[in-house]
A and B are shown apart, each in its own frame.
Chain A
Amino acid sequence: MDVLYFAWVRERIGLPREKVQTEAATVTDLVEELIAREPRYAAAFADLSALRVAVDQQLADFDAPLAGVREVAFFPPMTGG
């Protein structure tokens, strides 16, 4: 699936998007897989309460299932307007 990062999450991880091969059942499982990869992911995902997630471009919770999902995005709380 495509995994996208925005704002300071993008800066900490060092790229805006990547393809990830995963069998993760939920967003939390995916986060744990990413954290296990490299310290930069651990730095970005250190405090999940400071992050928001969108699954297929809809805001979701971290326990959201990933079956059939094409795109997951991680970002800080939004500051529009």
Chain B
Amino acid sequence: MRVSVAEAPFDVGREVAEFSAGCSGMGAIVSFTGIVRDLPEAPLEAMEIEHYPGMTESALEDMARRAIERFSLGDALIIHRHGRLAPGETIMMVATAAPHRKDAFDAAEFLMDFLKSRAPFWKREITAGGADWVAAKDEDEDALARW
């Protein structure tokens, strides 16, 4: 299990390759990558991500441990960036390894649902019109109910 919270960019391909290489006996590797999306209504200049150093790492480690236990994973990886990101940049990724694909997919969904509303990150969108904190969505909170 590995959790990384850092400002620096990371190479998704290399992370997936290294994660996969360390997972012998696992038939399924799933990875999800989150990208800074441009806004349809106003061009996004940047996305700023604030976090809670210390709590962030322990919250992500706790999520990864729960996913490993619940879905009998061989391994799990969470990488999440903070700081100022441009549209198109990679924000975060999760990867999960399991003997079979259903557990690997479900565990990735589980991690994403918890990352959305239980990991102490706050996003702010910077446009020509100013800076706005991204509001949490009810549907993200509702998504936790299925777990």
Contact = CB atoms under 8 A, between A and B. Distances in A.
Interface of A: 4, 6-8, 54, 57-59, 73, 75-81
Contacts of A73: 52, 55, 120
A6 B120 contact: yes
A77 B133 CA distance: 11
Given A7-B50, A7-B133, A78 B119 contact: yes
Given A57-B52, A57-B54, A77 B136 contact: yes
B55 A54 contact: yes
A29 B119 CA distance: 26
Interface in B117-147: 117-124, 133-136, 141
B134 A79 contact: yes
Contacts of B136: 76-79
Chain B interface bracket (under 10, 10 to 19, 20 to 34, 35 or more): 20 to 34
Contacts of A57: 52, 54-55, 58
Nearest to B80: A80
B116 A75 contact: no
Given A79-B116, A81-B92, A6 B50 contact: yes
B34 interface: yes
Question: Quick one: which of A59, A75, A78 has the most chain B CB within 10 A?
Answer: A78
Contacts of B92: 80-81
A78 B133 CA distance: 11
A6 B122 contact: yes
A8 B120 contact: no
A8 B115 contact: no
A8 B134 CA distance: 10
A57 B52 CA distance: 9
A59 B52 CA distance: 12
B34 A81 contact: yes
Contact of B133 (A8, A54, A58): A8
Interface in B57-98: 58, 80, 91-92
Contact of B121 (A8, A54, A59, A80): A80
